[in-house]
Amino acid sequence: MANLQDIRDRISSVENTKQVTSAMKMVSAAKLRRAQEAIFQTRPYSFRMSEVISHIKKHVDPSLHPLFQERKEKNAVLLVIVTADRGLAGAFNTTILKLAEKTISERFARQKESENLFLICVGKKGHEHFQKQGYQLIGDFRGAFDRISFETAYDVTELAREGYNDNRWDEVHVIYNEFKNTIAQNRIVEQLFPIPAELYLTPVMESEMTHVAEYKEGESVDYLFEPDAETILDVLAPRYVRHKLWRIFLESNASEQGARMVAMDSATTNAEEMLGNLRLTYNRARQDAITNELIEITSGADALG
Amino acid sequence: MSNLIVEIVSPAGKVFTGEATGIQAPGVSGSFEVLRNHAPMIAAFEVGTLRVTIPSGESIKFATSGGFLEVLNNTVSVLAESAELLSEIDLDRARKSEERAKTILAQAGETLERESAVAALERARNRVRAAMGHVGS
């Protein structure tokens, strides 16, 4: 039986931990609310833009814009991996890093072998993880989620586009968490460049997109462009990607806060359970000690009498 | 007769969804209006006023800082960089932000900084202009 002082120390240390975890839970609940608002505001614009882009893509000559052209040789690949800056969010970072590694070994092993695999890691956790393993990292986006801003989306887009135009890589994919609800995230691997022929629908997009502007299959649509297709694509294509990345960052941020809230909630519950057990053990030990003392007193009295 | 379905979205959220008989936008090469049975089109528009005519004949106006719209099968999707309902713009605040934009522009040095300051001023001016037109009418 552990001694009373030891148990008392453990109780107070678990109590401290519980205070920390429940405070963190409150903080992430507040952050989650804000992140959720932001993502719900951004989604309609981004989804609608994806739809317009996919319509254009189907009906114009892909040679009109470099971002639309599929390259025959895919020698080099850039992956944009979106993780969190901070830990203590359950398996949030681990699962997305595992997915990234799985994707690399399943789809891009050849590029990795020939040292033509590049990574942009948004968020400190991913950056440090892949840096340790000696991957070729482009840019430094640690701390991007401390103050999440559209500038980051802009910078990442420009980096990816520059390299794509210079033929440093032929394809760009992005790996991230999509916010489903507080307790669940969808993990997604999606092609960014060249803009894919078929619009990639994430689970949330599928359930939320209202296909108002549907056209019949096989119908050929001749779009009028005002002023002209090239000018529009030049502006629209990069803007589409920027807003897509911006949405992705917001998705990831909301997912992270949700994951942290859930993790901290279960940590608090665990701490409570542990405290219950410790108090029980403590009381039992105290009772034992009292009983022992009484026995000593009575047997002492017996011996005297 | 059925109407157009118009949806206006901006990065700050959904601004307008509903039926309309027409929508007027400040096109790059001049203002244009989309009515029912318009041919499929993708058009860019600039800073100015978007005017949606709803079936009752009323028109709803938005101050916008540019964007794109797609017309397909009588559905108009408007992707605006910003769109604010005119009746919700506070003229005083719009004036103040115009002043602020002016001072920033006066101090702006670099080209990039300057560009964004010019754009900000143009947006602010547009809001003031649009809101004043609304107050007057």
We report the CATH number of the domain holding residue B44 as: 2.60.15.10
Are B51 and B19 in the same domain? yes
Q: Measuring CA to CA, which residue among A110, A106, A98 is closest to residue A170?
A: A110
Domain range enclosing B72: 4-86
List of chain B residues whose C-beta atoms are within 8 Å of the C-beta of residue A232:
42-44, 68
- B contact residues 15-74, partner A, Cβ 8 Å cutoff: 27-29, 32, 39-44, 68, 70, 72-73
Residues B109 and B131 in one domain: yes
Residue A208 lies in a domain: yes
CA A178, CA A207: separation in Å to the nearest integer? 13
> In terms of domains, do A39 and A9 share one?
no
Pair (B59, B78) in one structural domain: yes
Whether residue B104 sits in one domain with residue B80: no
| Alpha-carbon distances of B39 from A212, A222, B55, B72, B80, rounded to whole Å | 16, 8, 21, 7, 21
Specify whether A239 is located in the same domain as A273. no
Pair of tokens at residue A96 = 């997305």
Gap between the Cα atoms of A71 and A184, Å rounded:
36
Residues A175 and A226 in one domain: yes
Among candidate residues B71, B69, B70, B49, the one with its CA nearest the CA of residue B60: B49
How, if at all, do strands A224-226 and B22-27 pair?
A: unpaired
Rounded Cα distance between A24 and A7, Å, is 26
Same domain membership, residue B98 and residue B77: no
Q: Compute CA distances A273 → A13, A190, A268, B36, B76, whole Å.
A: 14, 42, 9, 66, 57
Number of domains in chain A: 2
B62 vs B58: CA distance, rounded Å = 13
* A304 within domain boundaries: no
CATH number of the domain encompassing residue A280: 1.10.287.80
> Within a domain: residue A198?
yes
Shared domain for B120 and B62, answered yes or no, is no
Residue A217: pLDDT over 70: no
Q: Angle at CA A41, nearest 5°, toward B11 and B128?
A: 50
Q: Are residues B40 and B79 in the same domain?
A: yes
**Which chain A residues are closer than 8 Å to B73 by Cβ?**
213-215
The boundaries of the domain holding residue A168 are 30-262
Paired strand residues for B67: B45, B80
For residues A246 and A287, membership in a common domain is answered with no
pTM above 0.90, yes or no: no
Residues A195 and A271 in one domain: no
The residue of chain A with its CA nearest to that of B72 is: A213
Q: What is the pLDDT of residues B58-101, one digit of tens each?
A: 989 898 888 999 998 888 999 998 888 887 777 777 788 888 88
Q: The domain that contains B111 carries what CATH number? A: 1.10.287
**Is there a single domain that holds both residue A37 and residue A180?**
yes
Residue B135 pLDDT > 60, yes or no? no
pLDDT confidence of residue A210: 61
Question: Cα–Cα distance between A39 and A147 in angstroms, integer?
Answer: 15
Of B28, B29, B41, the CB nearest to A223: B41
Q: ipTM value of the model?
A: 0.77
**A262 compared with B132, residue with greater pLDDT:** A262
Residues B104, B46 share a domain: no
> Is some CB atom of chain A closer than 8 A to the CB atom of B14?
yes
